[in-house]
């Protein structure tokens, strides 16, 4: 998936919602030490800079070089491009070594990972005891019945280009393998459900839709998901292009610690 995010990294930076500071505070409270955190699949770095408010250093990695180039700078965040060709030992060493990490987070990305390989790295780098991993995601935003019906048509058009792993998002991570012991924030098969809101203009809506990996994938196949007709439908349902509206997302989180 990295190639598709490479092509739209700038759109991703300008479109994705920020996460509530309370999420980071709650996770930080679970780790006795706050020396090092790892943000895997960092994207534009929005989660990395949130975690950096609580940890001395954050290693933020992504297999997309384009995303790393557009990531949000922060003095406590070190962004690193980690190509898929990197070995497990190389990745463990890069992050800080065995038992070096207090918190691992994955924001809206774990469903793209090779889960057995990723979880193997997590178990190696997390501090024992005291280390915690947290993963979260969210569904498409909703506004009102009129706009939402147009969005459903957009998604139906995009559906042939979705990666099969999108099923984990569709079921709110309820079927996501998560072989860690619960720490009170969801568990395997039972994620914690959360609300995520954002103020958006219509331009922001278009930027978000164009940041989806499926948009780039469809374009490579000669399909413009945001055709002139679709944009007009979306704008008609939204209202004035300058109108700022509140969009709502159903979010979900699971956190855990290594099973010793």
pLDDT digits (tens, 9 = 90+) for 193-233: 999 999 999 999 999 999 888 998 999 999 999 999 999 99
Could you read off the pLDDT of 167-192 as tens digits, one per residue?
A: 999 999 999 999 999 999 999 999 99
pLDDT at 21 over 80: yes
Q: What is the pLDDT of residue 13?
A: 43
Confidence grade of residue 66 (pLDDT, cut at 50, 70, 90): confident
Q: Rounded to an integer, what distance in angstroms lies between the CA atom of residue 44 and that of residue 221?
A: 26
Region of poorest pLDDT, from 29-38, 39-48, 51-60, 209-218: 209-218
- Rounded to an integer, the average pLDDT of 66-90 is 95
Q: Rounded to an integer, what distance in angstroms lies between the CA atom of residue 91 and that of residue 101?
A: 13
pLDDT at 1 over 80: no
Question: With b meaning 16 or more CB within 10 Å and e meaning fewer, what string describes 12-31?
Answer: bbebbbebeeebbebbbebb
Q: What is the pLDDT of residue 15?
A: 55
Could you read off the pLDDT of 125-180 as tens digits, one per residue?
A: 999 999 999 999 999 999 999 999 999 999 999 999 998 889 999 999 999 999 99
Q: What is the pLDDT of residue 84?
A: 92
Residue whose C-alpha is closest to residue 248's, from 143, 123, 103, 164? 143
Q: What is the pLDDT of residue 16?
A: 67
Region of poorest pLDDT, from 23-27, 106-110, 211-215, 251-255: 211-215
- Rounded to an integer, the average pLDDT of 110-138 is 97
pLDDT at 253 over 50: yes
Per-residue HEC secondary structure of 36-83 comes to EEEEECCCCCHHHHHHCCCCCEEEEEECCHHHHHCCCCCCCEEEEECC
Q: Which residue shows structure tokens 């534009």?
A: 44
Average pLDDT, the chain: 92
Residue whose C-alpha is closest to residue 188's, from 205, 201, 175, 204? 175
Q: Kindly state the percentage of the chain with pLDDT values over 90.
A: 84
Confidence grade of residue 259 (pLDDT, cut at 50, 70, 90): very high
Q: What is the pLDDT of residue 67?
A: 86
**Top-level class of domain 2-140+164-196+250-257:** alpha beta
């Amino acid at each position: 998936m990295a190639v598709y995010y490479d092509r739209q990294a700038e759109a991703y930076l300008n479109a994705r919602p920020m996460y509530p500071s309370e999420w980071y505070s709650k996770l930080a409270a679970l780790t006795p030490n706050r020396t090092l955190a790892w943000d895997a699949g960092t994207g534009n770095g929005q989660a990395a800079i949130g975690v950096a408010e609580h940890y001395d250093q954050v290693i933020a990695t992504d297999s997309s070089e384009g995303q790393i180039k557009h990531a949000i700078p922060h003095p406590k965040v070190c962004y690193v491009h980690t190509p898929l060709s990197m070995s497990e030992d190389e990745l463990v060493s890069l992050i800080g070594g065995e038992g070096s990490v207090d918190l691992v987070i994955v924001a809206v990305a774990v469903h793209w990972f090779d889960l057995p390989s990723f979880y193997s790295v997590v178990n190696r780098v997390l501090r024992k005891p005291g280390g915690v991993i947290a993963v979260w995601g969210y569904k498409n935003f909703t506004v009102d019945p009129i706009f939402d019906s147009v969005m459903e048509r957009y998604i139906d058009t995009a559906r042939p280009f979705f990666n099969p792993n999108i099923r984990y998002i569709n079921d709110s991570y309820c079927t996501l393998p998560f072989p860690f012991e619960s720490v009170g924030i969801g568990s395997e098969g039972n994620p914690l459900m959360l609300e995520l809101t954002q103020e958006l203009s219509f331009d922001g809506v278009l930027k978000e839709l164009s940041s989806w990996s499926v948009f780039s994938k469809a374009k490579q196949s000669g399909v413009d998901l945001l055709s002139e007709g679709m944009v007009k439908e979306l704008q008609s349902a939204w209202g004035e292009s300058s109108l700022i509206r509140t969009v709502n997302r159903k979010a979900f989180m699971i956190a855990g610690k290594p099973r010793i």
